[in-house]
């Protein structure tokens, strides 16, 4: 399959004070194939959300390129940009904050539709009802306001709004982390089902490694603005290579508490350092149990160690 998204040496820096640069996305490259789900994981503040938004053109890139279907997202003219906005959507973490409280559900769903399609009143109504049904809501919800719905229902509206413009690509930015644990699985299952039915391509951003495992074809692990490991989901979880990935995976709780956890837990020492003026060498240096002299000054590049398995670490 061909690449739908290509991210090439992408950087997104923010000036946050005199001589202080926050390197939220610091030279990131990857691609996403058509119909694929790429999981992007890491602790909060690692730059995954900024990366998703820079890919969508919500933020301008400081350097580097994002190609959608071969076209440079940050160099599009107005009509190309409009088309891109239709094709590339986002589902936000907090469905409440992302829905306008003064708009009804049908107005929210139709907003993008009205920009991109010319529908008659009847066609529009029909489409709204169709979308409500697709996401597991019904006609009765159309005239309601966001505050009248539960968190899970609101996220279903967020999904319907994204689907309304018939996108090819969706950035799912922590779409379940604000929801009750009891409904998280429902929303994930819905996203998986929609992907299959509509051939969607996902960038799935999450801090929850165990959740991403089941829905991603490949997973990228971000640390302080950089991707430190990128591999097919199975390989990453069964055979993580980077010391940071190993620590994250060893910290995933085992679902059945009766089974004794015999894995070697690797404790992560210290806090995530600040992404402002990050260290010269390996960004994980201060927390890495296997750090060597070389790691202090030389930044390891992301290299393909086995087929499709990339890691940025001097151990390999």
Q: Is 221 in the site for ligand SF4 (CB under 6 A)?
A: no
What backbone phi and psi angles, to 5 degrees, belong to 180?
-55, 140
Nearest-approach distance from CB 293 to ligand SF4, in angstroms: 9
Judged by beta carbon, residue 139 or residue 274, the one nearer ligand SF4 is 274
Judged by beta carbon, residue 20 or residue 292, the one nearer ligand SF4 is 292
What is the Cα 143 distance to its own chain's centre?
31
Judged by beta carbon, residue 134 or residue 313, the one nearer ligand SF4 is 313
- Do the Cβ atoms of 31 and 184 come closer than 8 Å? no
Residue 228 has, within 13 A of its CA and on its CB side, a CA count of: 29
Q: Is 315 in the site for ligand SF4 (CB under 6 A)?
A: yes
Contacts of 222 (CB under 8 A, 6+ apart): 28, 40, 41, 42, 46, 47, 48, 51, 228
Judged by beta carbon, residue 16 or residue 289, the one nearer ligand SF4 is 289
160 three-class SS: helix
Judged by beta carbon, residue 103 or residue 268, the one nearer ligand SF4 is 268
Nearest-approach distance from CB 172 to ligand SF4, in angstroms: 28
Given strand 88-91, what is the order of strands in its sheet?
A: 88-91, 169-173, 201-206, 37-41, 218-223, 226-232, 309-311, 303-306
- Do the Cβ atoms of 52 and 40 come closer than 8 Å? yes
Nearest-approach distance from CB 289 to ligand SF4, in angstroms: 8
Q: Is 105 in the site for ligand SF4 (CB under 6 A)?
A: no
Q: Give the Cα separation of 63 and 11 in Å (integer).
A: 5
Nearest-approach distance from CB 47 to ligand SF4, in angstroms: 17
Nearest-approach distance from CB 181 to ligand SF4, in angstroms: 32
Q: Is 248 in the site for ligand SF4 (CB under 6 A)?
A: no
Residue count of the chain, please give it.
316
Kind of pairing between the strands at 309-311 and 226-232: antiparallel
Nearest-approach distance from CB 257 to ligand SF4, in angstroms: 31
Kind of pairing between the strands at 37-41 and 71-72: unpaired
Q: What is the dihedral of CA 95, 99, 102, 107, to 10 degrees?
A: -120
Judged by beta carbon, residue 189 or residue 297, the one nearer ligand SF4 is 297
# of chain residues touching ligand SF4 (CB under 6 A): 13
Choosing from 66, 99, 203, 313, the residue that interacts with ligand SF4 (CB under 6 A) is 313
Nearest-approach distance from CB 243 to ligand SF4, in angstroms: 5
- Do the Cβ atoms of 310 and 304 come closer than 8 Å? yes
Judged by beta carbon, residue 263 or residue 290, the one nearer ligand SF4 is 290
Q: Which two tokens stand for residue 244?
A: 């940071």
Site string for ligand SF4, 253-292 (x = CB under 6 A): -----------------------------x-xx--x-xxx
Choosing from 220, 243, 275, 278, the residue that interacts with ligand SF4 (CB under 6 A) is 243
Q: Is 193 in the site for ligand SF4 (CB under 6 A)?
A: no
Distances (CA, A) of 191 to 160, 195, 209, 224, 303: 11, 6, 17, 28, 31
Nearest-approach distance from CB 284 to ligand SF4, in angstroms: 4
Judged by beta carbon, residue 11 or residue 286, the one nearer ligand SF4 is 286
Residues in touch with ligand SF4 (CB under 6 A)? 243, 282, 284-285, 288, 290-292, 295, 300, 313-315
């Amino acid at each position: 399959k061909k690449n739908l998204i290509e991210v090439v040496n992408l950087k997104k820096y923010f000036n946050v004070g005199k001589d202080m640069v926050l390197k939220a996305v610091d030279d990131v490259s990857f691609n996403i194939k058509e119909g694929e789900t790429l999981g992007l994981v890491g602790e909060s503040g690692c730059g995954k959300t900024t990366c998703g938004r820079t890919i969508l053109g919500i933020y301008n890139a400081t350097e580097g390129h994002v190609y959608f279907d071969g076209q440079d997202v940050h160099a599009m003219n107005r009509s190309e940009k409009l088309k891109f906005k239709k094709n590339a959507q986002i589902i936000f973490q907090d469905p409440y904050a992302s829905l306008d409280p003064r708009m009804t559900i049908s107005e929210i769903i139709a907003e993008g539709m009205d920009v991109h399609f010319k529908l008659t009143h009847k066609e529009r109504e029909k489409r709204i009802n169709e979308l409500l049904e697709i996401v597991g809501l019904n006609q009765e919800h159309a005239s309601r306001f966001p505050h009248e719905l539960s968190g899970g229902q609101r996220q279903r509206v967020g999904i319907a709004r994204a689907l309304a413009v018939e996108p090819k690509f969706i950035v799912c930015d922590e779409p379940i982390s604000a929801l009750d644990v009891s409904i998280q699985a429902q929303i994930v299952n819905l996203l998986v089902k929609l992907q299959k039915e509509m051939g969607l391509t996902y960038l799935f951003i999450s801090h929850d490694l165990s959740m991403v495992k089941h829905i991603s074809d490949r997973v990228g692990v971000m640390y302080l603005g950089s991707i430190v490991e990128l591999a097919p989901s199975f390989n990453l979880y069964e055979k993580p290579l980077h010391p940071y990935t190993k620590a994250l995976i060893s910290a995933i709780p085992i679902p059945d508490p009766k089974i004794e956890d015999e894995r070697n837990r690797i404790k992560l020492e210290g806090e995530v350092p600040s992404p402002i003026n990050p260290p010269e060498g390996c960004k994980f240096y201060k927390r890495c149990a296997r750090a060597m002299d070389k790691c202090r000054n030389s930044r390891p590049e992301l290299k393909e160690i086995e087929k499709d398995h990339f890691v940025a670490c001097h151990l390999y």
